[in-house]
Amino acid sequence: MLSRKKLHFYNRDNRRVHRSGPPEFKTQVYQCLKETRGKCLGSFAHGETLPSAPNPGLIVHGLGTITLPLFEPEARRLKKACHQAPFGRGSETLVDTKVRDTWELNADQFVLRSHAWQATLENTLRRVAQALGVAGGSTAIRSELYKLLLYDKGAFFDSHT
């Protein structure tokens, strides 16, 4: 377990190992990563670009089909269905446009209807599972529709810890 204040080290049996002297946070992270060297089946992270991804078939309840790529008239129409996106600070959920100037739809406000999009998503999950070394492959992970974010020109999500 890592924390900015104190780091606890655990051995392979999940027993806490006491170490003398509190090392700096970067040193703590380095030490944890060093101890995993050669034990990971895959990469720590994975990213890729899908240059020919199909249109997801976005349908917003109350608006209908939203064409993509998103041009300004459709963006204005979509924004009317959105609400200001909150952010979390500790146990609080806040809306503050000085920290996060973003609009959002909840997953129950829209659907993605394209079969080609679904197939692309399933293929992407397979590649991600393989790259990360997930035991069980793509059957052990899932994608889950959560939110749709809409950023105006110049919008941002600032650091808020």
Q: Model confidence at 3, in pLDDT bands (50, 70, 90)? A: very low
State the number of CA atoms in the 13 A half-sphere of 139 facing the CB: 2
Burial class of residue 58, CB neighbours in 10 A (0-12, 13-18, 19+): buried
Distance CA 109, CA 100 (A): 21
Return the pLDDT at 23: 54
Mean per-residue pLDDT over the chain, rounded? 83
pLDDT for res 4: 45
27, 35 in Cβ contact below 8 A?
A: no
On the CB side of 95, how many CA atoms lie within 13 Å of its CA? 6
**What pLDDT sits at residue 60?**
97
Rounded CA-CA distance 17/77 in Å is: 57
Region 89-114 average pLDDT: 90
Q: What is the pLDDT of residues 18-75, one digit of tens each?
A: 655 555 777 887 877 777 766 667 887 899 998 889 999 999 999 999 999 999 999 9
Backbone phi and psi for residue 2, each to the nearest 5 degrees, phi listed first: -110, 140
Q: Which three-class secondary structure state does DSSP give residue 99?
A: coil
Residue 87 near residue 93 (C-beta atoms within 8 A): yes
In this predicted structure, the answer to whether residue 17 has a pLDDT above a threshold of 90 is: no
